[in-house]
Amino acid sequence: MAQLIDGKAVAARVRAEVKADVEILKAERGLVPGLTVVRVGEDPASKIYVNGKKKAAEEVGFNSWEEHPDASISEAELLAIVHRLNEDPAVHGILVQLPLPKHIDAERIISAVKPEKDVDGFHPMNAGKLSLGKPGLRPCTPFGVMRLLKEAGCDPSGKRAVVVGRSNIVGKPMALMLLAADATVTVCHRKSNLAAEVANADIVVAAVGVPELIKGEWIKPGAVVIDVGMNRMADGKLKGDVEFEKAKERASFITPVPGGVGPMTIAMLMRNTLIAASGGI
């Protein structure tokens, strides 16, 4: 029977660490990290996410602001907001909340954020640094997964890791982070033989957005299972990408949904903002 990896508890520890480091920054350098979230329009999910980020920022002692233009804003006007924030010395981190309205090119907006203020870790330069193994701001969700593995006592070095999903936000950066930690990494997608690949994995990271796609019987006994999936079902409940009840019978450690990876994303956003403000502590 697997031990649960409590993402809420780990996220609370990360936020406490960041708060302590913020106090050091204030005392030694008179510096308070500043985070601005840009939220366009009234997407209900985005509002919830942004409120959670603002609450976390206040908890750790950051200055935090929200830019909230109407959904009718033009791409040029939104770029102007980003450029203004780029030049504001009080703003160390800029997060553009996705999705953006359809008439706006999200990639163009993200690429307009200065790489050193890109606390989401999505800028092409930060993606390139990750690929090259250079220091830079990392995407928050895979960054959080690496911390969860550490908390579970799972050193990826020498282990076989399977990442299910190849998105630019989670799957690809996750694979690169595991590779940097000396794991042997396989990235799976819709053309993969999932059952066979998962069965050989010491570490499974599921990030594809299909409820219970990863069957419990596929899990290698003793494997560590990280479920990034957050799928809202018809009854309103959340399910992950892993068949949790059966998987936990075989895994050594497993993240629940909710309460696993989700809280870590905001916690690592706080860590990224601190890094952006201070160059690392």
Write out the catalytic residue numbers. Answer: 53, 97, 120
- Please state, in angstroms and rounded to a whole number, the distance separating the CA atoms of residues 251 and 245: 11
Structure tokens belonging to residue 206: 């599921």
Instruction: Report the 10 Å Cβ neighbour count for 192.
Output: 15
Residue 180 · residue 133 · CB < 8 Å: yes
Residue 71 · residue 40 · CB < 8 Å: yes
